[in-house]
Amino acid sequence: MLKRGFSFRNPVVVVSALLLLQISAFYGMSTSEYVPDPPPLKSFPSTVGDWFKVSESDPESDITDLLRADDWLNREYVSSRGKVSFWVAFYKTQRTGVSPHSPKVCLPGNGWQFESSGAESVAVPGEAAPIKINRDSVRSRQSRILAFYWYQTPHRVVANEYLARVYLILDGLRYRRSDTAMVRVLSPIINDQDQAAERTALEFIRAVYPPLKHQLWSE
């Protein structure tokens, strides 16, 4: 007997039930998942357009232990327009329960406070429609940065963390793969020039998007 208030005529209940069934099917599939093996991210080009690498470092062991990514890239690039920090965490599979961590969790954990959060559509080479990515302004004492980030798979770019989980299930059922990358670009805000910092970041994103997609999903 169903409790009062529960009805399969309720669209929320129906969607939730279908999603639970999809999750069960995804994690219970007997057939093997396709797990890609792209080139190491450290082989990613040092020069992207007129941007060139000026530094590269590995994250601390406690960060790698927390993220549990299969591969990562942590660099700084510069051009005549400014400097950006470029971070990629790549997961070959999420079937074991490992998934990307949101910067909305990681940045505050490193002492950054959010001033504003939103999303932005960016036209990038190679895509028929603009990609939608997150745009956050954060502060730590006297320093301010713009943080742009998104979740990328072979088939789509997603800004929203929860929507990324939904597509994980749907794409897993359709394509039998769950590889994904969390991509983040940080642009320092100098003298409260937010628009200048945004232009710098977006120009880098447009330059780096095609070679990154090729690096991870050229097969």
pLDDT for residue 95 is more than 60: yes
Residue 6 lies in a domain: no
Most confident region among 27-36, 57-66, 130-139 by mean pLDDT: 130-139
If phi > 0 it is left, if psi is from -120 to 50 it is alpha, else beta; for residue 9 that is alpha
**β-sheet bridge partners, residue 145:** 138, 188
3-state SS assignment for residue 96: coil
Q: Which two tokens stand for residue 169?
A: 């299930």
Residue 25 lies in a domain: no
Residue 12 lies in a domain: no
**β-sheet bridge partners, residue 140:** 143
Ranges 73-77, 150-154, 172-176: which has the least confidence = 172-176
Q: What is the model's pLDDT at position 14?
A: 47
Residue 23 lies in a domain: no
| Total domains in the fold of the chain | 1
State pLDDT tens for residues 184-215: 999 999 999 999 999 999 999 999 999 999 99
Q: What is the model's pLDDT at position 145?
A: 95
Cα–Cα distance measured from residue 43 to residue 51, given in angstroms and rounded to the nearest whole number? 16
* CATH classification at residue 78: 3.40.1000
Q: How far is CA 56 from the centre of its chain?
A: 19
Q: What is the model's pLDDT at position 4?
A: 46
Residue 185 lies in a domain: yes
Q: What is the model's pTM?
A: 0.84
Ranges 12-21, 44-53, 140-149, 194-203: which has the least confidence = 12-21
Residue 22 lies in a domain: no
pLDDT for residue 24 is more than 60: no
Q: What is the model's pLDDT at position 13?
A: 53
Top-confidence residue, 6 or 131: 131
Q: How far is CA 159 from the centre of its chain?
A: 7
For residue 155, give its domain range.
34-217
Q: What is the model's pLDDT at position 105?
A: 78
CA atoms in the 13 A half-sphere facing the CB of 94: 26
Q: What are phi and psi of 73, to 5 degrees?
A: -145, 130
Residue 42 lies in a domain: yes
pLDDT for residue 19 is more than 60: no
Q: What is the model's pLDDT at position 6?
A: 43
| H/E run at residue 209 | helix 194-217
Top-confidence residue, 206 or 69: 206
Cα–Cα distance measured from residue 42 to residue 209, given in angstroms and rounded to the nearest whole number? 16
15 and 162 in contact (C-beta within 8 Å)?
A: no
Residue 145 lies in a domain: yes
